[in-house]
Structure 1
Amino acid sequence: MKPKNLIIVLAITEQGLTPAEAATRFSVSRQWVHTLLTRYHTEGPAGVAPRSKAPLSRPGRTPQIIRERIIALRTELTGKGADAGPATIAWHLTREGHPTPAISTIRRILHSAGLITPAPKKRPRSSYIRFEAELPNECWQADITHWFLSNGTRVEILDFLDDHSRYLIDIRAAATFSGAAVAETLHELIDHHGPPMSTLTDNGLVFTTRFARFKGSKGGFEKLLDTYGILQKNGRPGHPQTQGKIERFHQTLKRFLSAKPRPETMPELQQMLSEFRNWYNTRRPHRSLGSRTPEEAYTALPKATPTGAHATEWRSRTDKVDRHGSVTLRYAGKIRHLGIGRGNAGLPVLMLIHDRNVTVSDLNTGEIIGEYTIDPAKDYQPKKPS
């Protein structure tokens, strides 16, 4: 069977049809008939064979060297446990001075190389309702996750994340974190970065005592927030989505740690966490920040400051003076010793606590024995001068 183009030409050259008659018979334009005749007389039958409609050149096609760099970046970043999506690869290409294709083009290149696994059921980012603080230090999210040393020992990791910029304020490891240790960490961060306007945590006892089985004084974390007038926010129990940013942050952290050998010691793990903090804050572009790094976003605007009023605490406690002449009181997550005097050993007493002020009286007679103003930096608390 001869191709249609050749039949048109033969109808003219062999059967004597005019170009106009051939155009009418075969339902083509006269211009096309003349084009076929020119090709036939110049190139013979091969000249009228169907030709590809693809352009002879593709000026918009991504150069091979860029395609290879895209694939290499994907492999390198994945091997380091870092983000390796199309947007991140585009950021790295720009930083390296390469011409940067569109993110959709990078995605197609990765698909063609078999480096992206389709996930049609994955929930699109646009479907999430996002809440974000407007200024740095407007809200710090804090949480504790865990990791394992090479011998299987489970350790805890405490982190503080700025809600506005995703700046990793601090990350540190310990066998376990007590309420006092968490409060001390917060105090260090306030000294270095200034107090945040608010904090957002879950309802762990190191952050809040509101769900404690036995109600007592506020924990050290809560007491420190009260001292600075910082608003405390806690997620609804059983609803981790409230702390969604720090939950997703933990995924990034563990992907980074999983790409490396398990640390043998706690100092080795802390070194890995310090490396992660530097990379996360200064060398990792964040999509929600317009491809800026968290450090760039954290330093771009003035920092928010606390606006809340100091929360007043009223409570009471009974105790018996020990043989050393002291009674104990928990304040800001730590046990404090109030000096009563050895002559009162064994005496039952009542303590009335108003914030840092404590009045101690004989439980039986009501006689006031001493008044105290708690110094949070000290364990032993002497009586106020009479």
Structure 2
Amino acid sequence: MNSPNRNLAIVRAVRDQKQKVAAVAKRFGVSRQRVYQILADYDAGGDAAVAPKSRAPHTHPQAVPEALRNDIIDMRKQLTRHGLDAGPETIAYHLAAQGKRVPSTSTIRRILTDAGLVTPEPKKRPKSSYIRFEAALCNEIWQADITHVFLADGTRVEVLDFIDDHSRYLMSITAAAAFSGAAVAAELTRLISTYGPPASTLTDNGLVFTARLAGRKGGRNAFEKVLTANRIQQKNGRPGHPQTQGKIERFHQTLKKWLAARSPAPTINELQHLLDEFADYYNTQRPHRALGRRTPAQVYTTGAKASPRDNPKEEWRIRNDTVCTNGKTTVRYAGKLFHLGIGRAYASKKILMVITDKHIITSLADTGEVITEHYIDTSRDYQKPYWKTGDPPLNPHQ
């Protein structure tokens, strides 16, 4: 039988093969004193006495105590049960917050894996393959989007949210049965009055955010009008490419995971209460890995702010139409339809309208004769003509 025990081989060489101690010591690379010690140990205890001893230390000062290991496992289960992030980085943050010893994230991950709390995802794309973009300052880019959730009775409702790209600060989150363009524009206006205007916005190409894919029907919508009025640059993701709005798409995953851990809200009002609770947690309690384990509120409130610097071009468009029998026509401004008085004398006449933002000059399509001029008053539906006959006044206040 082969044996890896060198000490026993030394014993056999001296005792069984009758070799000299000096020769055996030279052959095995040890001193003669060491050979005599091995022989003495063998005589006293047999094979076990000369068996190789482990060189591992008797104690492991860096080993994770069983109590801490259980704390890590319990914390993982508790965070998961409440729909919260439960990765090694988050667990490390909470351990530090509780004043406990914090193992490395790789050690925490190994503990969770050994406990069967990690599901392997071999096909998951590695994070190193992503090209990550982040605004350099707070208020440099606000991302906005609309997602949907379901009430307890299965009713589908919409959730509108705005986040700051740099700090991930959740500017607002609102639930409604459905959001119109005017409602989205109103929320943007409210946020501007609260936080100041951002330098730019980033959204998808939904009609509540942009009219650029609608063939310019009606010109800029209400959201775009607010951007223009505040000199905010508009940015839109490529159609069918949601990765451009990756931060807010990832935010929706966090939101829905948190909501899924709770009973569905029976009404929109109760859903809004849940969203308000989530917003407070997300902004002030949840550490963000991309922010150095700081919260979005910490970064946003202490960070430098960008300001608008866009120089929007004046919007102009033309429209061919026919005057209705009641002497009126319609035009869409900021997503809202307005009625313009032209005059019954021009009923059924074909007209050409040259529109520069709120200013509209209408002429007969056949002759080119200018017949009316309007300045849209957004506070009313019906727009009286600025003038009808003769030369126009010098300014709209005459």
TM-score by length of 1: 0.87
In structure 2, distance between residues paired with 1:38 and 1:179: 94
1:346: Cα distance to partner?
6.3
Aligned to 1:252: 254
8 A contact 2:218–2:331 mirrored in 1: no
Q: More displaced, 220-229 or 238-247? A: 238-247
Q: 1:367 to 1:11 in 2, by over 3 A?
A: closer
2:191 to 189, 192, 214: 189
1:136: Cα distance to partner?
0.6
Aligned to 1:372: 375
Aligned to 2:231: 229
In structure 2, distance between residues paired with 1:221 and 1:32: 89
Q: More displaced, 223-232 or 115-124? A: 115-124
8 A contact 2:317–2:354 mirrored in 1: yes
Q: 1:379 to 1:193 in 2, by over 3 A?
A: farther
8 A contact 2:137–2:306 mirrored in 1: yes
SS at 1:157 equivalent: strand
In structure 1, distance between residues paired with 2:103 and 2:164: 32
SS at 1:299 equivalent: helix
1:102 to 101, 104, 110: 104
Aligned to 1:69: 71
In structure 1, distance between residues paired with 2:35 and 2:377: 103
The alignment of Structure 1 onto Structure 2 pairs a total of residues equal to 382
1:131: Cα distance to partner?
1.1
Q: More displaced, 358-367 or 206-215? A: 358-367
After superposition, residues 303-322 of structure 1 pair within 5 angstroms as 303-317=305-319, 318=321, 320=323
Aligned to 1:274: 276
In structure 1, distance between residues paired with 2:219 and 2:374: 19
In structure 2, give the amino acid aligned to 1:106: I
8 A contact 1:228–1:310 mirrored in 2: no
SS at 1:218 equivalent: coil
Q: 1:34 to 1:256 in 2, by over 3 A?
A: farther
In structure 2, give the amino acid aligned to 1:47: A
SS at 2:245 equivalent: helix
8 A contact 2:162–2:170 mirrored in 1: yes
8 A contact 1:159–1:168 mirrored in 2: yes
2:158 to 138, 156, 159: 156
Aligned to 1:297: 299
In structure 2, distance between residues paired with 1:378 and 1:33: 109
1:23: Cα distance to partner?
2.8
TM-score by length of 2: 0.85
8 A contact 1:165–1:294 mirrored in 2: yes
Q: 1:140 to 1:319 in 2, by over 3 A?
A: farther
1:167: Cα distance to partner?
1.3
Aligned to 1:145: 147
8 A contact 1:321–1:344 mirrored in 2: no
Let me know the Cα RMSD of the aligned residues.
3.1
After superposition, residues 162-201 of structure 1 pair within 5 angstroms as 162-201=164-203
Q: More displaced, 206-215 or 239-248? A: 206-215
Q: Deviations over 1:244-302 (max 9, x none)?
A: 11111111111111111111111111111111111111122222221121112222321
8 A contact 2:72–2:108 mirrored in 1: yes
SS at 1:209 equivalent: coil
8 A contact 1:141–1:200 mirrored in 2: yes
SS at 2:220 equivalent: coil
In structure 2, distance between residues paired with 1:263 and 1:119: 32
Aligned to 2:30: 29
Aligned to 2:212: 210
Q: 1:326 to 1:98 in 2, by over 3 A?
A: farther
1:96: Cα distance to partner?
1.1
In structure 2, distance between residues paired with 1:336 and 1:35: 107
In structure 2, give the amino acid aligned to 1:89: I
In the alignment, structure 2 segments of 5+ residues that lack a partner are 387-395
Q: 1:6 to 1:220 in 2, by over 3 A?
A: same
In the alignment, structure 1 segments of 5+ residues that lack a partner are none
